[in-house]
């Protein structure tokens, strides 16, 4: 735990107000069509369109908990100013709901969040991704009430990285260096003098590291490409001698495993099996919710689908991972919500993998009998999934309403 727990200023288990906020949560996020899909073996068919949804999708346990605690915080402190360190999760609708409740969003800066607007009498919510050790220390020094919703699965990664740094291993993190969770995870090494980390986004970056371990790499190129995701004084000659692999919880599981394997093999080729046994560690830190959603979409892709819709925030890492799995197998559109489907114009606006802007596609729903697969990231509410299902059918002139 990053902040010593005191009864009055640090809260990690909510406020015992689950019953008080339950109606609001149901009203804001539950989905009638999702319930109907579940009741009908995850399929709905009408007007020549069959919609089939993955068997695991949408809100995960960590997101449910974080959002519920944010609602509890508002209920517990109706008259206090409440701030949130970044976004509670990566879904615009959920964040908008919190803004509507009067919760203020703090923006990240280069050296942590900007807490200048926060007074000691205020309440600060830490999101599901966690915050860095530096931010936790700032909050503790300010004496504010901290409501920590960091997901338990993220805490497990922190424990792993902590053990690497404690034992003199560089934490090699498969993740996105700018992502809140990865920044928080990387900061764990700073508990130990000489603690180091290096973030690799994908196998391409991991191969640069492997090449360097095997003596083929270019120091300048490696640092130029990876320094933004490395500890400030990272030295590849010194810091790639002992490596422990971890990952951001929402990455592509198979890529994380492949990266760990590639680094282990590079170390063995360079210095032998005995050296590898003593100086390489790994631990799969993909969370079970992410894994379940990836497994479920793989199962769905066994079906003869014509098109796949992946619903979730464009900055949602686990949604992007789901879209990447689908795009390799079937025509896939990552959409933020149902608004991306224009029923009258029969268009879809989507975010292609790796792109930072949207693309509009005409006549996205093929004519004739068609099967549409759907999944959604761990931060996507059920009502937003249901609204998407309704618009898919509406594109064929079939009315199925999300709201009663
Ligand atoms: S995706 Fe995994 S790590 Fe992230 S909040 Fe959900 S359960 Fe926790």
Each residue's pLDDT tens digit, 308-337: 999 999 999 999 999 999 999 999 999 999
Query: Is the pLDDT assigned to residue 8 strictly greater than 70?
Result: yes
- Please give the pLDDT value at position 7: 53
- How large a percentage of the chain has pLDDT more than 90? 94
Domains 11-20+61-151 and 153-286 share a fold: no
Each residue's pLDDT tens digit, 263-294: 999 999 999 999 999 999 998 888 999 999 99
Mean pLDDT for the stretch of residues 375-399 = 96
Fold assignment, 153-286: Cobalt-precorrin-4 Transmethylase; domain 1 (3.40.1010)
Each residue's pLDDT tens digit, 24-83: 999 999 999 999 999 999 999 999 999 999 999 999 999 999 999 999 999 999 999 999
The answer as to CATH 3.40.50.10540 being correct for domain 11-20+61-151 is no
Q: Whose CA is nearest to atom 7 of ligand 1?
A: 62
- How large a percentage of the chain has pLDDT more than 70? 98
Catalytic annotation, residues: 181
Each residue's pLDDT tens digit, 106-154: 998 778 899 999 999 999 999 999 999 999 999 999 999 999 999 999 9
- Please give the pLDDT value at position 286: 86
8 A C-beta contact, residue 29 and residue 20: no
Fold assignment, 41-60+289-395: Cobalt-precorrin-4 Transmethylase; domain 1 (3.40.1010)
Mean pLDDT for the stretch of residues 227-239 = 96
Give the pocket of ligand 1 (CB within 6 Å): 60-63, 128, 151, 153-154, 249-250, 287, 289-290, 318, 378
pLDDT-derived band at 3, boundaries 50, 70, 90: very low
Nearest-angstrom CA–CA distance, 319 and 290 = 9
Give residue limits of the domains in the chain: 11-20+61-151, 41-60+289-395, 153-286
Query: Is the pLDDT assigned to residue 2 strictly greater than 50?
Result: no
Query: Is the pLDDT assigned to residue 4 strictly greater than 50?
Result: no
pLDDT-derived band at 396, boundaries 50, 70, 90: very high
Q: Which atom of ligand 1 is nearest to the CA of 66?
A: 5
**Spacing, Cα 334 to ligand 1 middle (Å):** 20
**Spacing, Cα 64 to ligand 1 middle (Å):** 9
């Amino acid at each position: 735990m990053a902040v010593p727990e005191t009864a009055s200023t640090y809260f990690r288990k909510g406020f015992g107000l689950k019953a008080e906020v339950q109606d609001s949560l149901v009203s804001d996020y539950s989905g009638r069509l999702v319930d109907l899909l579940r009741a009908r073996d995850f399929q709905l068919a009408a007007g020549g369109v069959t919609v089939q949804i993955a068997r695991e999708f949408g809100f995960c346990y960590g997101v449910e908990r974080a959002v519920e605690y944010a609602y509890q915080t508002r209920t517990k402190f109706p008259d206090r100013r409440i701030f949130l360190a970044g976004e509670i999760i990566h879904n615009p609708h959920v964040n908008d709901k919190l803004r509507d409740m009067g919760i203020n969003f703090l923006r990240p800066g280069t050296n942590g969040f900007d807490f200048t607007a926060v007074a000691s009498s205020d309440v600060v919510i830490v999101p599901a991704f966690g915050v860095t050790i530096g931010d936790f220390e700032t909050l503790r020094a300010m004496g504010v009430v901290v409501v920590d919703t960091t997901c338990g699965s993220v805490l497990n990664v922190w424990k792993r990285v902590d053990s690497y740094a404690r034992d003199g291993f560089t934490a090699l993190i498969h993740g996105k260096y700018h992502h809140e969770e990865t920044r928080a995870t990387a900061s764990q090494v700073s508990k130990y003098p000489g603690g180091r980390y290096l973030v690799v986004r994908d196998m391409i970056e991991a191969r640069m590291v492997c090449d360097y371990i095997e003596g083929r790499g270019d120091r300048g190129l490696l640092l130029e490409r990876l320094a933004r995701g490395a500890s400030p004084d990272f030295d590849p000659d010194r810091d790639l001698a002992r490596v422990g692999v971890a990952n951001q919880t929402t990455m592509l599981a198979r890529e994380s495993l492949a990266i760990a394997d590639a680094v282990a093999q590079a170390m063995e080729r360079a210095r032998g099996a005995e050296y590898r046994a003593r100086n390489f560690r790994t631990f799969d830190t993909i969370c079970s919710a992410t894994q379940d959603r990836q497994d479920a979409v793989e199962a769905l892709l066994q079906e003869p689908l014509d098109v796949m819709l992946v619903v979730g925030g464009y900055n949602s890492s686990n949604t992007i991972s789901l879209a990447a799995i689908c795009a390799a197998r079937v025509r896939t559109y990552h959409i933020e919500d149902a608004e991306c489907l224009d029923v009258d114009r029969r268009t879809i606006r989507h975010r292609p993998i790796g792109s930072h802007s949207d693309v509009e596609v005409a006549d996205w729903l093929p004519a004739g009998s068609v099967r549409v697969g759907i999944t959604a990231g761990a931060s996507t509410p059920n009502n937003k999934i249901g609204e998407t299902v309704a618009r898919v059918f509406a594109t064929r002139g079939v009315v199925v309403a999300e709201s009663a």
